[in-house]
């Protein structure tokens, strides 16, 4: 047979010629169908996934404990809006955190009602409605009986909940920042002017507990430092707390806890050479109320507004919540007392 050349091309195969034999190493294609295709895909994915190492895999996080802000409660028309504004700022700072409100008295919702309404969500580890977890953050400024007794008792009376009580808002540098800002807004001048020397009376509600008075005194010292050495005297809104029922010596008034009064502190500063117009009054009050109004009316000079929704106060509430979470100390009345975070 003559080999093909440029002048003699290879002849075309005749139509009757047999097709070339299939490659013995290439299997013929076959239709898999829907079920077969799904099986092939599953097998391939399984083969590939066996080579994947799961680094840093985490189970879905449990929902965080609810933050229950505990206000004292007041009939003052400005109290509830001020507390709601503070809670709105807290929610804005920590989106996704459940934030609730409960009052100890005089206003709704009462703390007992708020706790009664808190139940575990349906997708929690236990059945819906069994147990929820909460942190009570008092909108109070010292370790008085509300913080050390009433709040733990409220938790103990809510058996469907586990929880902890956070520390009160004072003393703390963030509280001092809020007090400082409110004093400047009220017109306090921190430097000498017209021969005058500024001074501040730091007013608190007062408590039966001596530790609460120590907390207020410490806040006064911190505020004095923040004001560059301006004298700050602690004082109280009333001369003595209401006397407890007879027979309960632990809840009778403490002379240390409610002295001096605001007028007494003002007189002390005047005796030290401060002109009344240079003496400002700042209050450890989260919202307007009877005591806040009384202390402002007693101010001979600038009177600072209640702390309300000041950003530093909102951050402090979250800080106390985080402190209580990090404690992670049991539950029940005794465990809750142990978990009350120290300053």
Q: What percent of the chain has pLDDT over 70?
A: 66
Q: How far apart are the C-alpha atoms of 149 and 158, rounded to whole Å?
A: 15
CB 134 within 8 A of CB 66: yes
- Spatial CB neighbours of 15, under 8 Å, sequence gap ≥ 6: none
User: Which residue has 């009333």 as its token pair?
Assistant: 238
Residue 306 scores a pLDDT above 60: yes
Task: Considering only residues 62 and 162, tell me which one the structure prediction assigns the higher pLDDT.
Answer: 162
Q: How far apart are the C-alpha atoms of 222 and 178, rounded to whole Å?
A: 12
Residue 30 scores a pLDDT above 70: no
Sign of the C-alpha dihedral, residues 267, 272, 277, 283? negative
Residue 256 scores a pLDDT above 70: no
Q: How far apart are the C-alpha atoms of 191 and 223, rounded to whole Å?
A: 15
Residue 242 scores a pLDDT above 90: no
pLDDT of amino acid 98: 96
Mean pLDDT check: name the lowest of 21-25, 134-138, 173-177, 306-310.
21-25
pLDDT of amino acid 319: 98
pLDDT of amino acid 333: 36
- SS3 assignment for the chain: CCCCCCCCCCCCCCCCCCCCCCCCCCCCCCCCHHHHHHHHHHHHHHHHHCCCCCCCCCCCCCCCCEEEEEECCCCCCCHHHHHHHHHHHHHHHCCCCCEEEEECCCCCCEHHHHHHCCCCCCCCCCCCCCCEEEEEEECCCCCCHHHHHHHHHHHHCCCCEEEEECCCCCCCHHHHHHHHHHHHHHCCCCCCECCECCEEEEEECCCCCHHHHHHHHHHHHHHHHHCCCCCEEEEECCCCCCCCCCCCHHHCCCHHHHCCEHHHHHHHHHHCCCCHHHEEEEECCCCCCHHHHHHHHCCCCCECCCCCCCHHHHHHHHHHHHHHHHHCCCCHHHHHHHHCCCC
pLDDT of amino acid 336: 37
Q: How far apart are the C-alpha atoms of 283 and 270, rounded to whole Å?
A: 19
pLDDT in tens, 119-161: 755 444 444 444 589 999 999 999 988 998 999 999 999 999 9
Beginning with the edge strand found earlier in the chain, give each strand of the sheet holding 161-165 in spatial order: 99-103, 66-71, 132-138, 161-165
pLDDT in tens, 32-51: 566 666 666 666 666 565 55
Mean pLDDT for 92-112 is 95
């Amino acid at each position: 047979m003559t080999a093909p050349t440029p002048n003699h091309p290879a002849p075309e195969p005749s139509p009757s010629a047999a097709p070339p034999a299939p490659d013995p190493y290439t299997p013929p294609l076959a239709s898999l169908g829907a079920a077969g295709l799904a099986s092939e895909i599953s097998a391939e994915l399984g083969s590939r996934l066996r080579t994947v190492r799961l680094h840093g895999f985490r189970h879905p996080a449990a929902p965080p404990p609810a933050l229950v802000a505990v206000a004292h409660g007041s009939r003052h028309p400005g109290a509830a809006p001020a507390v709601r504004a503070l809670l709105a700022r807290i929610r804005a700072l920590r989106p996704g955190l459940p934030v609730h409100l409960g009052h100890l008295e005089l206003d709704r919702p009462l703390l007992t009602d708020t706790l009664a309404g808190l139940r575990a969500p349906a997708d929690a580890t236990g059945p819906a409605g069994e147990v929820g977890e909460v942190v009570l953050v008092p909108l109070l400024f010292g370790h008085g009986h509300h913080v050390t007794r009433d709040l733990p008792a409220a938790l103990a009376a809510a058996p469907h909940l586990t929880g902890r009580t956070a520390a009160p808002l004072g003393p703390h540098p963030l509280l001092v920042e809020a007090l400082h800002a409110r004093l400047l807004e009220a017109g306090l001048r921190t430097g000498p002017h017209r021969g005058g020397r500024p001074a501040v009376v730091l007013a608190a509600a007062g408590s039966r507990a001596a530790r609460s008075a120590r907390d207020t005194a410490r806040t006064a010292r911190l505020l004095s430092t923040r004001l560059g050495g301006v004298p700050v005297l602690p004082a109280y809104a009333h001369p003595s707390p209401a006397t407890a029922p007879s027979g309960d010596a632990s809840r009778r008034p403490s002379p240390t806890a409610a002295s001096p009064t605001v007028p007494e502190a003002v007189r002390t500063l005047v005796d030290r050479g401060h002109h009344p117009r240079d003496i400002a009054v700042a209050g450890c009050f989260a919202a307007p109320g009877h005591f806040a109004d009384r202390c402002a009316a007693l101010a001979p000079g600038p009177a600072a507004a209640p702390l309300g929704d000041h950003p530093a106060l909102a951050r402090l509430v979250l800080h106390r919540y985080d402190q209580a979470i990090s404690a992670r100390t049991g539950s029940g009345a005794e465990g809750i007392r142990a978990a009350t975070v120290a300053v």
